[in-house]
Amino acid sequence: MSIEVRNITKKYGAFTAVQDMNLQIPTGELVALLGPSGSGKTTLLRIIAGLEGTDSGQILLNGEDATQLSPRDRGIGFVFQHYALFRHMTVYENVAFGLRVRSRKQRPSEKEIRTKVHELLRLVQLEEFAKRYPSQLSGGQCQRVALARALAVEPKVLLLDEPFGALDAKVRQELRTWLRNIHDELNITSVFVTHDQEEALEVADRIVVMNEGQIEQIGTPEEVYSQPATPFVYNFIGRVNVVSGQVQKGRIRIGNLEMKVPENVNLAGSAAICYVRPHDIEIEIGYDKSENQSINAIEATICHINIIGPVARLDLKRSDTGELIQAEISNDRYQQLGLKVNELVFVKFKTLKVFPHEKPFGTESQDESEVLTVGSVSLNAKLHVS
């Protein structure tokens, strides 16, 4: 079943949760609604489900207006973050519940219910737990029961509201793969809400990045990560360094580093904000400054080194501005260079994204300077504030 969100607006008093939103989801696609708290993603999911009304706009399912239909009449299965299982019922009874409360004409026989429930429990790998109660299960097992219950009524659309948010990291990782496999097997149109970037990038066919009730970008995981449309998307998805620069004649200067602007940016003579992924940073050593040679690189000092398996993460402090830069290089390259804390190095960028000078996402003005938040690192960057 396809889903179309057409000009949807939803307000709670003076607060606009969703603003004139349009979105199309083809049949069989697995879509992630990704954004920070308050971006409107759960409100949109509940509107699609019929659990929330709208102030304006329409929800179309398979091209037909479903805006006024009840949740039951929309053919939708909903999985909540905190399971919402009936604690006085066994696993079997929880899964069977949706089938048993159907009208007499639509209700399957007990034999059909039994067959269906056991089939679903096999699918979610919980058949041996049929007689247990929710209190006797782990969080991951409870979430799988909740999904089996949602699938029991054979929904045409599956909606999941932060389904793994209450689980620990290892269980979340396992359930991501499990959800992707189930989706591929059943081919149900699915939409899930998450604020976890890695989860969205790993599981979804397409990602809808939301911010303040509006859509910032829609694309495949590769598109939103590698080709972010706005500064917000670049900041929100993945780790990134934010530095200021000056564009002149198709080239940008960042401290002593000068490089070609990697895209057609009409910013001649203008200040710009540059976004650089940590893995797009090159580290060099050994320039002979005594010869007064022109060094086309940013000079920095290593403040901290963190080795994570095959990757070395470096915190670097720029000599010219005091900004912090995060870099990621392979462990092999790190060993080859023999890097140490307090060592002077030279930084170059393999690639970067340039936007007009505007206040980046997650910043707060402080007189003539701004603090740029990059992952868990705050970069004190002097910017020209107009």
Reported as a single tens digit per residue, the pLDDT across 297-312 is 999 999 999 999 999 9
Q: Are 80 and 145 in contact (CB under 8 A)?
A: no
198 sits in which H/E element:
helix 197-203
- Considering 175, 207, 231, which residue would you say is the last residue of a domain? 231
Say how far apart CA 150 and CA 120 lie, in whole Å: 10
The domain spanning residue 109 has which CATH number? 3.40.50.300
49-53, 80-84, 254-258, 293-297: range with lowest mean pLDDT: 293-297
- Count of beta carbons in the 10 Å neighbourhood of residue 330: 12
Q: Which residues contact 283 (CB under 8 A, 6 or more apart)?
A: 314, 327, 329, 333, 337, 339, 345, 346, 347
Q: Is the pLDDT confidence value at 237 over 50? A: yes
One domain, residues 193 and 272: no
Q: Is the sign of the CA dihedral 48, 50, 55, 59 positive or negative?
A: positive
Q: Are 315 and 324 in contact (CB under 8 A)?
A: yes
Residue among 281, 314, 278 nearest 298 (CA) = 281
pLDDT of the residue at 313: 97
Q: Which residues contact 84 (CB under 8 A, 6 or more apart)?
A: 146
One domain, residues 246 and 210: no
pLDDT of the residue at 360: 45
Kindly report the average pLDDT of the chain as a whole number.
Answer: 86
44-53, 225-234, 324-333: range with lowest mean pLDDT: 225-234
pLDDT-derived band at 365 (thresholds 50, 70, 90) equals very low
Residue among 174, 226, 220 nearest 200 (CA) = 220
For the entire predicted model, the pTM comes to: 0.81
Q: Are 94 and 149 in contact (CB under 8 A)?
A: yes
One domain, residues 219 and 280: no
pLDDT-derived band at 381 (thresholds 50, 70, 90) equals very low
23-32, 112-121, 359-368: range with lowest mean pLDDT: 359-368
Q: How many CA atoms lie within 13 A of 333 on its CB side?
A: 14
Question: 255 phi and psi, to 5 degrees?
Answer: 60, -125
Q: Is the pLDDT confidence value at 269 over 70? A: no
Q: Is the pLDDT confidence value at 384 over 50? A: no
pLDDT of the residue at 372: 34
One domain, residues 100 and 195: yes
Q: E-strand spans in 117-267?
A: 157-161, 189-194, 206-211, 214-219, 241-248, 251-254, 257-260
One domain, residues 303 and 343: yes
What is the percent of the chain where pLDDT is above 70?
88
- The alpha carbons of the chain give a radius of gyration, in whole angstroms, of 26
Residue among 161, 374, 126 nearest 273 (CA) = 374
One domain, residues 227 and 263: no
pLDDT of the residue at 103: 82
DSSP 107: P
Looking at the chain, how many residues does it have? 386
Q: Which residues contact 308 (CB under 8 A, 6 or more apart)?
A: none
One domain, residues 161 and 117: yes
34 to each of 143, 201, 238, how far by Cα in Å? 20, 10, 12
pLDDT of the residue at 291: 56
- Count of beta carbons in the 10 Å neighbourhood of residue 385: 12
pLDDT of the residue at 288: 59
Q: Are 215 and 241 in contact (CB under 8 A)?
A: no
- Considering 231, 247, 278, which residue would you say is the last residue of a domain? 231
One domain, residues 99 and 226: yes
One domain, residues 298 and 195: no
- Considering 231, 257, 276, which residue would you say is the last residue of a domain? 231
One domain, residues 282 and 350: yes
One domain, residues 219 and 254: no
One domain, residues 167 and 267: no
Q: How many CA atoms lie within 13 A of 94 on its CB side?
A: 31
Report the number of distinct structural domains present in the chain: 2
Q: Is the pLDDT confidence value at 238 over 90? A: no
Q: Which residues contact 372 (CB under 8 A, 6 or more apart)?
A: 242, 360, 362, 363, 378, 379, 380, 381
The domain spanning residue 274 has which CATH number? 2.40.50.100
What residues make up the domain containing 327?
239-382
